Amino acid sequence: MTKPEKLIENGIRLDGRKPDELRPIKIKVGVLNRADGSCYFEFGGNKVIAAVYGPREVHPRHMQKSTSAVVRYRYNMASFSVEERKRPGPDRRSIEVSKVSREALEPVIFQEYFPRSAIDIFVEVLQADAGTRTAGINAASIALADAGIPMKSLVSACAAGKIDDTVVLDLNKDEDNYGQADMPIAMTPEGNITLLQMDGHLTRDEFGEAFELAKNGCKAIYELQRAALMEKYASQMEGDVIE
């Protein structure tokens, strides 16, 4: 695709969204049998799947911590997830994404409950359409809860950015490619920011606007994450009558 003449016209974006509108989201909890917790997360054109294993033994042993669990996060893109085939395996980008995503989730995990053990999070991007790291964090957060890992709260993530000098929520691939800025954040329901990255060009005022927009996006996603978990577990809880 070549650069479209306009990415936004009369307040409507190329995919028909308003500036403050998220792409459609689909969540399925507990989609894998072998993993302790898992989640399938669709975010517009993004399709990601997250699995959580643990707490379990740490290999290699020297990585273990005597007073808390180690959290490991592997973000991986399938070679067929993008237009041009991606060479399989970790590259510099995915190593960085893994690091910041891990740091986005670590503050909500009660790591000190599980000394000398590991909590492993694996995120596989099956289809990418800008916003894979935020989709991955959203999925991983649900998968952690599904695995029964004690957490202070969920973490929700989404991006805001700038296209044609307009600040918008949740950029898709074309908007990311031809837009002027992209800023993914992750947030707890209490409003603590656990991930913040940005590249492009934003004035101080535009930053403030984008930041608020992204926080509102996180709040909306939090409600969906919560609903997805409730859907799986609420019915089980109701049937669980103690006599």
The candidate with the shortest Cα–Cα distance to 77, out of 2, 128, 11, 9, is 128
Interface region with another protein, contact rule CB under 8 A, candidates 9-17, 39-47, 92-100, 166-174: 92-100
Smallest gap from Cβ 230 to another protein, in A, equals: 25
Smallest gap from Cβ 83 to another protein, in A, equals: 10
Does residue 192 interact with another protein by CB under 8 A?
yes
Residue 7's φ and ψ, nearest 5 degrees, are -95, -20
Does residue 211 interact with another protein by CB under 8 A?
yes
Smallest gap from Cβ 139 to another protein, in A, equals: 20
Does residue 85 interact with another protein by CB under 8 A?
no
Distance CA 104, CA 203 (A): 25
Smallest gap from Cβ 203 to another protein, in A, equals: 5
Q: From the list 22, 82, 193, 224, which residue makes contact with another protein (rule: CB under 8 A)?
A: 193
Residue 221 to residues 121, 156, 225, 226, 230, Cα–Cα distance (Å) = 20, 6, 6, 9, 14
Smallest gap from Cβ 84 to another protein, in A, equals: 9
Distance CA 162, CA 158 (A): 14
Q: 239: part of which helix (H) or strand (E)?
A: helix 204-239
By CB under 8 A, what part of segment 99-138 binds another protein? 99-100, 103, 106-107
Q: By three-state DSSP, how is residue 29 classified?
A: strand
Token digits of residue 46: 């993004």
Token digits of residue 217: 């996006």
Contact status, residue 178 vs residue 163, Cβ threshold 8 Å: yes
Smallest gap from Cβ 219 to another protein, in A, equals: 13
**Considering beta carbons, is residue 4 or 208 the nearer one to another protein?**
208
Q: From the list 112, 165, 199, 223, which residue makes contact with another protein (rule: CB under 8 A)?
A: 199
Q: Which residues are near another protein by CB under 8 A?
A: 92-93, 95-96, 98-100, 103, 106-107, 183, 188, 191-204, 207-208, 211, 215
